[in-house]
Chains A and B, each alone.
Chain A
């Protein structure tokens, strides 16, 4: 359980309890490789990564990797991760969150992290269903989805997370798919290296409650194939609107948007270097009150 070993050692001894065929395995293994490769090529020590999990099938990932982690609570991984990043800007903080977890329970935190350009990476395991609580609809379930709490089919339309993140100020936005492994790993590396808020939405296959493999295989394509850049907001908006999470239209995968902006907490960095003189500081300040 010591850091700095080859990628194989990144898999922890914790017993894996995902269903056979679950897309989370792809995310786990591509993340494991991404971390190992980043540590090789970029010299980022494995001890500098911190994984923060939400609650759902997705969150188990943080138990399965032998990396620093904080297995948080449902919907709240993002503010916790922001705190870690502010306390130590040298750490690379990566959140593994679910669609129920972050688009329902914790939506406000997601929007604010994007707005303030928190220096964290958010990986959403979007299986478009509540896996761990056995099959209810989520904010990205398609129109008409019949879940255990909505047997008659939902009459709400899904939200489009990419569009939402774009207008909220996210500075890195991409979409992956658990059946497209290599691009997934590359996206993880880019997202982690991006300075600022990186948002990665992953169409994750839930083998048990909502298996969309056939549809996705038919619909997905790589935005990169069209040779478009990632600097244009309008183009990214148009691309993210191409699929509305219900229709049978094409689904673009890859990085849509990327932009450099000042990150949250930058101004604090001078404090951490400052020599603190507690009692003195207090007494100096009191002088002003006399």
Chain B
């Protein structure tokens, strides 16, 4: 199996992310599956940024610890990543910015001078050298640039890349796989596409890493996708606007991270009481508080499970790759409307900002659920008591009678009540919706199994750690069991997926084992924890090492 790792690093503000995506584009062009990890501090200029692009014949979702090729735009790239460099790592570097590297220097200053090229073309020289060293034809780079570089800069970038290519000889050959390439997208982008697929009318958000790029993506494509995009004064307004939009019939989603979600919880609880649908894409990063803004964590599971005062049902899904992200962003929106509840798509920086090969046709059928609308046969009552607990929706002005939504405990029409029976009855109606939701969850593919199905050792994880776990588990002949849906918890599916496992190890990007805690709450044992809480996702190798220690 062909499997390559290429790292490119340099200073913030030098387009490392774009260069990483170009490398991903090159591999895609050759027919590879790609995963790109982008590491950047929370600053705009200076600092050290790097991207690790891994390409393989099979689908992947995690990086490796060492590189086949290292593209060094500054000395930090060598000094900080000595661990990533093997004896056979091919190092290509900028002659003057990197003083001690060995490998293959490219005199970028001179190339730019002679080609009369602007500084922003620097990375093109290195990308040209990369292609040449890896035996990748110039037509491939031309094609990739042709799609990503603005027309008026295309020629100069290609000239600079050509000169970079001339500076280095072929030292290895990355073969084309002769199959059509799939596009590389980030989790944020695919969440946006999934929401649109699910019927999104309006998107409301206040910027916060790691989901700001979801806001940017939908704002940038608002016209093509036909979505209204609003950026209000804060997350409190975001949530409240979303509820107003939904009250009037707009399918609405929002995105944020932990801090912003804190501000949204009062509105979340209002959604619970007023039974107003809303979908939240919640991107986790290390906390508490501001934490580490541009790094990753899975520390907000129990916050998402419990946010908001009072008792009301909610749907929480944690996609593990882009295909699940696409299907379940749509599904979350659709379920939030069926049950008139908040839906949370719980992701993290790894998945939201990581680049992955996206195969829309592998996403499977999109989970679609019907919204129950008022049929006009009897006078409208917003909170009509029904067997399912679902009160059909109607939107003003077409409702025949007033639509009265309420944050107070209310009667069927929507008038405030403090009547004991009325309060209890309405609480029961709301909780009856949870029963239907649970049935829908159990009949969806809510738990995924990979690896050796009858293995005694079960590695359990959630969200973005899917890729690393599946690969690492192969080395131990273990099975990997992962809940895609976290609330309501698919206990029946979990029971059968873990049947016969005598050792359960939870792998999580947090410090206390939050999935493990959830499993124990549902009566499922967890024997060991393999946790990582330094802001970085597990690489396949690191995780395999940790599992070896645990398994013994």
Q: Are B401 and A1 in contact (CB under 8 A)?
A: yes
B 378-422 to A, binary, CB cutoff 8 A, 1 in contact else 0: 010000000000000001111111111111101001111000000
B residues in contact with A69, CB < 8 Å? 402-406, 414
A residues in contact with B244, CB < 8 Å? 52, 70, 79-87
Q: Are B226 and A271 in contact (CB under 8 A)?
A: yes
A residues in contact with B198, CB < 8 Å? 278
Q: Are B270 and A285 in contact (CB under 8 A)?
A: no
B151 interface contact, C-beta 8 A: no
| Other-chain residue from B204, B395, B407 in contact with A55 (beta carbon distance below 8 A) | B407
A229 interface contact, C-beta 8 A: no
B221 interface contact, C-beta 8 A: yes
A residues in contact with B226, CB < 8 Å? 271, 274, 276, 281
Q: Are A14 and B240 in contact (CB under 8 A)?
A: no
| Other-chain residue from A70, A84, A112, A276 in contact with B232 (beta carbon distance below 8 A) | A112
- Per the 8 Å Cβ criterion, residues 77-97 of A in contact with B are 79-88, 90-91
| Other-chain residue from A83, A85, A284, A290 in contact with B183 (beta carbon distance below 8 A) | A290
With A112-B233, A285-B221, A286-B360 known as contacts, the answer to whether A91 contacts B397 (CB < 8 A) is yes
| Other-chain residue from A2, A85, A286 in contact with B379 (beta carbon distance below 8 A) | A2
Query: What number of B residues sit within 8 Å (CB to CB) of A?
Result: 67
B 171-199 to A, binary, CB cutoff 8 A, 1 in contact else 0: 00000000001111100000001001111
Q: In chain B, what residue has the closest Cβ to A52?
A: B244
Q: In chain B, what residue has the closest Cβ to A279?
A: B197
With A67-B402, A268-B228, A278-B197 known as contacts, the answer to whether A83 contacts B408 (CB < 8 A) is no
Q: Are B236 and A87 in contact (CB under 8 A)?
A: no
Q: Which of B247-255, B468-476, B497-505 contacts A (4 or more CB under 8 A)?
A: B247-255
- Per the 8 Å Cβ criterion, residues 212-260 of B in contact with A are 221-222, 224-228, 230, 232-234, 236-238, 240-250, 252
| Other-chain residue from B224, B236, B410 in contact with A79 (beta carbon distance below 8 A) | B236
A282 interface contact, C-beta 8 A: yes
- Per the 8 Å Cβ criterion, residues 264-290 of A in contact with B are 265, 268, 271, 274, 276, 278-279, 281-286, 288-290
Q: Are A286 and B183 in contact (CB under 8 A)?
A: yes
Tell me the complex Cα distance, A87–B230, Å. Answer: 12
B180 to chain A: closest CB distance in Å? 8
Tell me the complex Cα distance, A14–B413, Å. Answer: 10
| Other-chain residue from B202, B246, B407 in contact with A72 (beta carbon distance below 8 A) | B407
A222 interface contact, C-beta 8 A: no
Q: Are B379 and A80 in contact (CB under 8 A)?
A: no
- Per the 8 Å Cβ criterion, residues 1-57 of A in contact with B are 1-3, 12-14, 45, 47-48, 50, 52, 55
A213 interface contact, C-beta 8 A: no
B267 interface contact, C-beta 8 A: yes
| Other-chain residue from B182, B196, B225, B240 in contact with A83 (beta carbon distance below 8 A) | B240
B5 to chain A: closest CB distance in Å? 22
A residues in contact with B245, CB < 8 Å? 83-84, 86-87
Q: Are A76 and B240 in contact (CB under 8 A)?
A: yes
Q: In chain B, what residue has the closest Cβ to A86?
A: B245
With A12-B415, A83-B244 known as contacts, the answer to whether A289 contacts B399 (CB < 8 A) is no
A71 interface contact, C-beta 8 A: yes
Tell me the complex Cα distance, A67–B183, Å. Answer: 51
A residues in contact with B247, CB < 8 Å? 70, 80, 83-84, 87
Q: Are A71 and B183 in contact (CB under 8 A)?
A: no
* Candidate in B181, B193, B226, B230 with the most chain A CB atoms within 10 angstroms: B226
Q: Are A70 and B249 in contact (CB under 8 A)?
A: no
Tell me the complex Cα distance, A86–B204, Å. Answer: 12
Tell me the complex Cα distance, A83–B233, Å. Answer: 13
A153 interface contact, C-beta 8 A: no
In the A-B complex, the 4 residue pairs with the smallest Cβ-Cβ separation, listed nearest first, are A83-B244, A289-B183, A87-B248, A83-B241
Residues on B close to A: CB < 8 A?
Answer: 28, 147, 181-185, 193, 196-199, 201-202, 204, 221-222, 224-228, 230, 232-234, 236-238, 240-250, 252, 266-267, 270, 274, 358, 360, 379, 395-408, 410, 413-416
Q: A72-B240, A72-B407 are in contact. List 19 more A-B contacts (CB 8 A).
A: A14-B416, A47-B399, A47-B400, A68-B397, A69-B403, A69-B414, A70-B404, A71-B408, A79-B240, A80-B243, A82-B244, A83-B246, A83-B252, A85-B244, A91-B248, A108-B233, A282-B225, A286-B360, A289-B185
Q: What are 7 of the A-B contact pairs (CB < 8 Å)?
A: A2-B401, A60-B416, A79-B236, A79-B237, A109-B233, A278-B197, A285-B225
